[in-house]
Amino acid sequence: AGRNVSYFHETDSTNTQAKKLGEEGAPAGTLAVADRQNAGKGRRGRSWESPPGRDIYMSLLLRPDIRPSDAPMLTLVMAQSVAEALREQTGIDARIKWPNDIVAGGKKLCGILTEMSAEIDYINYVVIGVGINVNQPSFPEEIADRATSLMLEAGRTFLRAPLIAAVMERFEENCSLFLGTRDLSGIQAAYNDLLVNVGEKVRVLEPGHEYSALSSGINKKGELLVQKEDGTTEAVFAGEVSVRGI
Ligand code: ATP
């Protein structure tokens, strides 16, 4: 993964570019990288703050031979890979906030956005977008209390290319485990070790419905297992859900 790279000085969003490459027949493993995004995307139409020159904006194009309903697990495979790469390259205590964020000290270092083009039973392509705050010294007021960068955490700057290479390397290994079983059994234990709020109370925010529960980590399908206050266990699917520590 990431041996065929399309580089953009400035683009709307690397996910949009990777999807375009996907439509044009680019091979699996193609990576779209930009120095700056002018319309960086988060989940549910939210935006990703993407200033020039300092951070990582990249999107990996894949054509996995899996069911479309299994594709959301790729977000968790990437989250695990980013967390491992950042820990090994920077020494920062990078952890995972299920399903799609990497945090340090509770603040967001990285967001992941997976998009897919599929028929009912066939994936045309998947794009996994990764935004990492590398050398950002400060953030806009609206997100200043929720965002951080590798530089702010480690007190030094980092080169971006070795970080990108490390993420791709970790992803290749974790993704081949995933494709071997088509579930997360190969990385489940390691993922749960890096997951925040395990054994703690969380607030589960589903569209139109929210509740408090005790988080106990993911199952091999990548669902977050939580015990509700009435004693029942729920497997929360990654779709449109947010989980907050309380
Ligand atoms: P939640 O944190 O509620 O689970 P999410 O993980 O779904 O949300 P995303 O949609 O992945 O969040 O990311 C978009 C959100 O992240 C924005 O609404 C903003 O709050 C925050 N954000 C935007 N840009 C950055 C950035 N560069 N670094 C950290 N956080 C950011």
pLDDT value of residue 242 = 78
Cβ of 108 below 6 Å from ligand 1: yes
pLDDT value of residue 240 = 66
Cis peptide before 99 (omega within 30 of 0): yes
Segment-wise mean pLDDT, segments of 10 residues, the chain, 246 residues? 89 97 97 96 91 96 96 97 98 96 97 95 96 97 97 98 98 98 98 97 90 96 95 86 78
pLDDT value of residue 11 = 97
Is 0.90 topped by the overall pTM? yes
Atom of ligand 1 minimally distant from the CA of 107: 29
pLDDT value of residue 44 = 85
pLDDT value of residue 60 = 98
pLDDT value of residue 165 = 97
Length of the chain: 246
End-to-end Cα separation, the chain, in angstroms = 37
Domain ranges of the chain: 4-193, 198-245
For ligand 1, atom 1, the nearest C-alpha belongs to 242
Instruction: With beta carbons less than 8 A apart as the criterion, state whether 75 and 112 touch.
Output: yes
pLDDT value of residue 89 = 98
For ligand 1, atom 26, the nearest C-alpha belongs to 49
For ligand 1, atom 4, the nearest C-alpha belongs to 242
pLDDT value of residue 199 = 95
Helix axes 160-181, 72-90, angle to 10 degrees: 140
How far, in Å, is the centroid of ligand 1 from the Cα of 25? 30
Q: What are phi and psi of 2, to 5 degrees?
A: 80, 15
Domain 4-193 identical in fold to domain 198-245? no
How far, in Å, is the centroid of ligand 1 from the Cα of 223? 20
pLDDT value of residue 27 = 97
Q: Of the residues 86, 108, 128, which should be mutated to test ligand 1's pocket, given the most ligand atoms within 8 Å of the CB?
A: 108
Cβ of 191 below 6 Å from ligand 1: no
What class does CATH assign to 198-245?
Answer: mainly beta
How far, in Å, is the centroid of ligand 1 from the Cα of 177? 28
Fold for the domain defined by 4-193: BirA Bifunctional Protein; domain 2 (3.30.930)
